[in-house]
Chains A and B, each alone.
Chain A
Amino acid sequence: MQKLTSILLVDDDPTTNFLHEQLLLSLGVTETCLVAENGAEALTLLADYSETSDLCPDLVLLDVHMPVMDGIDFLEAYLQPPYPPPVVIVLTTSVHARDQARMASLPVADWVNKPLTRAKVNDILRQHFQRQLPAEQLA
């Protein structure tokens, strides 16, 4: 399977980031996970690792509730140039109706419930990157 260039993990919970990084690395989806603890850091990282960079992220896994700049604010800012559009997947525990309404018009590729699992990762790869995990990884 061809690996993704890098994946940007945006969550204020370091444990969650740690677990997701471990899962993605162990499944061999990518070699590099960039980690941001809020929307603002994420925007900075995206600016640092732009299209020209070798580590420009193919996928952003985004939490909704975060201090400093939450997921929705991030998405609204992200709409502005110069950022190119990688695939954004929102990871949530539960979705409040008002949040869902706000994000309806934002460029979200998909909604996935936490915690991330191998099956969910495989679904994301299949639906958005036309690839899948090797069979032995899914066992």
Chain B
Amino acid sequence: MPAPTTPPPTAQPGFDELLETLLAASDTGLAHLKPVYAAGQPEELVDFTYERLNPAAQRLLGLPAHPQASYRAQAPADAAGLAFLRETFLSGQAGHHTLAGHPAAGQPYTLRVAAQRVGPHLVASFASAGPAAGAAAHLLPSEWPSLLAQAPVAITVLRGPQHLVELASPAMYALWHTTREQMVGRPLLAALPPAASHELALLLQAVPATGAPYLGREVPSGLGRPAGQAPGYFDVVYQPLHNAQGQPTGAVLVLTDVSEQVRGRLCTQHLNQELRRVNEQLHAANEELRANNQTLADTQLLLRQLNQELEARVAQGVREALAAEAEAERQQRQLARFFQQSPAAICVLDGPDLVYELVNPGYQQFFPGRVLVGRPLREAAPELLAQPTYEWLRQVYETGTSHEGHEVRLLVNPTGDALPQERYFNCVYQPRHDEQGRTDGVLAFALDVTAQVLAQQRVEALQAEAQAEAARRAQERETSYQVFEQTPAAVALMWGPEQRFEYANPAFGQLFPGRALRHRTLAEAVPEAVAQGLVARLDQVYRTGETFVGTEVQFTPQLPDGQPLRTGFYNLTYQAYRENDRILGVLVFCYEVTEQVRARQAMQNSAQQALDLAQDLRTTNEQLRRTNVDLDNFIYTASHDLKAPIANIEGLLLLLREQLPAEARQAGLVPRVLGMMQGAIERFQLTIAQLTDLAKLQQAHTQPAEEVNLPALVEAVRLDLAALLDEAHAELRVSLDSCATISFAPQHLRSIIYNLLTNAIKYRSPHRPLAIDLRCLAQPGSTVLEVQDNGLGLTADQQGKLFGMFRRLHDHVPGSGMGLYMVKRIVENAGGTIVVHSQLDEGSTFTVSFPN
């Protein structure tokens, strides 16, 4: 490494180029500025113009390479920046400044600026101090080591002619395989390990001895690489440092490892070369193939020419041969054409075995896919053996006489795979003779006439069918006629515009016995029909074609002497008779429904009678109901109105008895008359009492049913009857376990039990103590209450009268004769029943059944 020297006063050849490269490559913005002095005052420095900006400066300042505007014009607000440049220029010392700028385009920036006067020029360098995001973004000189420490490139600053290491970035230490402590303050090459020292010396070989800056691109070097590995590549910047006086003070060395890029590029170059080589080989091979192809094409051309000559010669030979044969063939062809194209089936059979000698297509078609020629008929066409044609062929051969067949039926198989078909042929079998006149074969011609035969058959079949149809129609007509003749309905056909009887069946004739109908009009034959509107209807149907249907039309035919027969009812239909859509007459269908109508009328009558009867019943019912109400009112009124006078009579009698003097009361008949009067009053009162009971019964329907607690009710009745039961020394046994309640009107239920128990007490036997059993049984659909006693009992005759009104079967005890009658009425009104089973002098059982 050469020692730094004073720079030469003039640029040597190559230096300009080097400088240009450095300016262009430098990441540091560099600017060449010239001072501007105030007009007329050469000592007053007021501004600077930009002479030139390198690309980094252009980028950092957002200005072109040669800006037209001055520094002040570019940054009018930057008085501090201008002052710095001015002072630096005037002082001649290197100066540093931090510049904040706001270019028109791009982000605001903060730049570190270093400036140094060079004669009448000012040189300034700009380095980005990061974005102007605030005070913290400004880098202070003390932070530079930190910046260096994080720099991605290897940098070292060397001082003095000995190149003492002033500082180095970690990346540089790594390249050197040393530490900061081993290097700082020591001469670079001496301090390095020998290998690194050697490599670095080699790397810096190109640094000019003049001490000018050096820029090396992709310089191969083993620096930092383990021994034996491929060398790396470095971009090398060697920048001498000078003091303000231009004396060398040291140098900055920047090494950027570009091994990856270089290797990548080298690899690509290598691959490209390889490709190019392969391409060249392929190209060569291609050339060779193309040459071969050309040779082949030439050979082909030669061959084709030879071929054409040969063909021409052959064609000539063939033409000559064909011309020679043409005449002979023409005659054969004509014969063959006839044989081949004949619509008839032709064959020649040879010898006694009838071997096929010749067969034309017309013949062959019936034996598709079969070889006939050269084979005996019985082998080649066995299906013919069973058919008459075979026998004929044999006879022709044997007798030598020809045979003709007309519409001979043959089963053949022209389609091969299908079932045999029926075909008809006209055929001629002709014997063939040899030179000696002996039969040696048979010639057979057969013409297929199947189509004609079938057509003929169809015609015949159609004729037969037509005849059968005609016969059937005749039969139908006869049958229809018989139907009309025998039908019970009256049928007639009225013909023509005047509607004359064309046909009338016997049933129709019977409607008008003894009258001629045929060819007469309805008006002529049945004059009475005119008045009854039937002729007009007929005309209408003929004119309009609309069918007339009359249901239950009333009609009274007359006897020939004009006497009316009985009136009948007829269902009648007039229907237009058409042929080819023309109305030619009217069909009359008439069916007598007199009996049905009469039956229905009778039924309607009886229905009406039933309705009338029902109405009568309703009326009667209403009358009865009113009568009942009247009776109810009567009984009430009577019981009231009669009671008062009889009570009065009784009172008056009592008063009279008191008013009579004592002797008069005893005299003559007086006591007896008084007694009889009292007796009459009492009987009257009894009758009234009975009527009153009856009045109460009228209200029996009105009481509503409810759930009655039966044991409680029975107990209440027992208490009411306690005195009577005691007097009779009676035992009442109650068993009601199976029915706690009965649905019934409570007052009525009480009456029933009271009456039955009272009766048991009244009609007890004097010969034994009374025992009464009161039981209740729950049965499906009903509840049964039984009162059984061991009393007097009843005869069968008595039992029949027991429940009648005013029936008192015993007179030794008081009673109205109304009790059981009322009980029965109450029970039956509620849908229940009451029956008695009794044995004279043993006791009675009353069984009451209440429906649930």
Please report A residues at the B interface, Cβ cutoff 8 Å.
13, 15-16, 19, 22-23, 65, 92-94, 96-97, 114-115
Instruction: List residues of chain B with CB within 8 A of the CB of A16.
Output: 644, 647-648, 651
* A16-B648, A115-B650 given; A94·B655 CB < 8 A: no
**A58–chain B nearest beta-carbon distance, Å:** 23
Indicate which residue in A93, A96, A115 contacts B651 across the interface (CB closer than 8 Å).
A115
Which residue, A15, A96, A115, has most C-beta atoms of chain B within 10 A?
A115
Would B647 and A114 count as touching, CB distance under 8 A? yes
If A13-B644, A15-B648 are given as contacts, then 19 extra A-B residue pairs at C-beta distance below 8 Å, sorted by A number, are A15-B652, A16-B648, A19-B648, A19-B651, A19-B652, A92-B640, A93-B639, A93-B640, A93-B643, A93-B644, A93-B647, A94-B640, A94-B692, A94-B695, A96-B636, A96-B640, A97-B699, A115-B647, A115-B650
Instruction: List residues of chain A with CB within 8 A of the CB of B636.
Output: 94, 96
A57 CA to B695 CA, complexed, in Å: 36
The number of inter-chain residue pairs (CB within 8 angstroms) is: 39
Within 643-662 of B, Cβ neighbours of A (below 8 Å) are at: 643-645, 647-648, 650-652, 655
A114 CA to B643 CA, complexed, in Å: 8
What are 13 A-B contacts defined by CB distance under 8 Å? A13-B644, A15-B651, A19-B648, A19-B651, A92-B640, A93-B640, A93-B643, A94-B643, A96-B636, A97-B699, A114-B647, A115-B647, A115-B648
A22 CA to B699 CA, complexed, in Å: 38
The 7 closest A-B pairs by CB, nearest first: A93-B643, A115-B647, A19-B651, A15-B648, A114-B647, A115-B651, A93-B640
A94 CA to B640 CA, complexed, in Å: 6
Would A19 and B655 count as touching, CB distance under 8 A? yes
- Count, chain B residues at interface, CB 8 A: 15
Chain B at the A interface: SS class: helix
Within 628-687 of B, Cβ neighbours of A (below 8 Å) are at: 636, 639-640, 643-645, 647-648, 650-652, 655
* A93-B639, A94-B636, A97-B699 given; A22·B648 CB < 8 A: no
**B101–chain A nearest beta-carbon distance, Å:** 121
Would A22 and B655 count as touching, CB distance under 8 A? yes
Please report B residues at the A interface, Cβ cutoff 8 Å.
636, 639-640, 643-645, 647-648, 650-652, 655, 692, 695, 699
Instruction: List residues of chain A with CB within 8 A of the CB of B647.
Output: 16, 93, 114-115
**B646–chain A nearest beta-carbon distance, Å:** 9
Instruction: List residues of chain A with CB within 8 A of the CB of B648.
Output: 13, 15-16, 19, 115
A16 CA to B640 CA, complexed, in Å: 14
Instruction: List residues of chain B with CB within 8 A of the CB of A65.
Output: 640
A93 CA to B692 CA, complexed, in Å: 10
A65 CA to B651 CA, complexed, in Å: 20
* A93-B639, A94-B639 given; A114·B699 CB < 8 A: no
A13 CA to B647 CA, complexed, in Å: 12
A13 CA to B507 CA, complexed, in Å: 92
Instruction: List residues of chain B with CB within 8 A of the CB of A22.
Output: 655
Instruction: List residues of chain B with CB within 8 A of the CB of A23.
Output: 651
* A93-B639, A94-B636, A94-B692 given; A114·B644 CB < 8 A: yes
A23 CA to B643 CA, complexed, in Å: 19
Instruction: List residues of chain B with CB within 8 A of the CB of A114.
Output: 643-644, 647
A24 CA to B648 CA, complexed, in Å: 15
Instruction: List residues of chain B with CB within 8 A of the CB of A13.
Output: 644, 648
**A131–chain B nearest beta-carbon distance, Å:** 24
Instruction: List residues of chain A with CB within 8 A of the CB of B640.
Output: 65, 92-94, 96
**B561–chain A nearest beta-carbon distance, Å:** 80
**B636, closest chain A residue (CB):** A96
A65 CA to B637 CA, complexed, in Å: 10
Instruction: List residues of chain B with CB within 8 A of the CB of A19.
Output: 648, 651-652, 655
A92 CA to B650 CA, complexed, in Å: 16
**A11–chain B nearest beta-carbon distance, Å:** 9
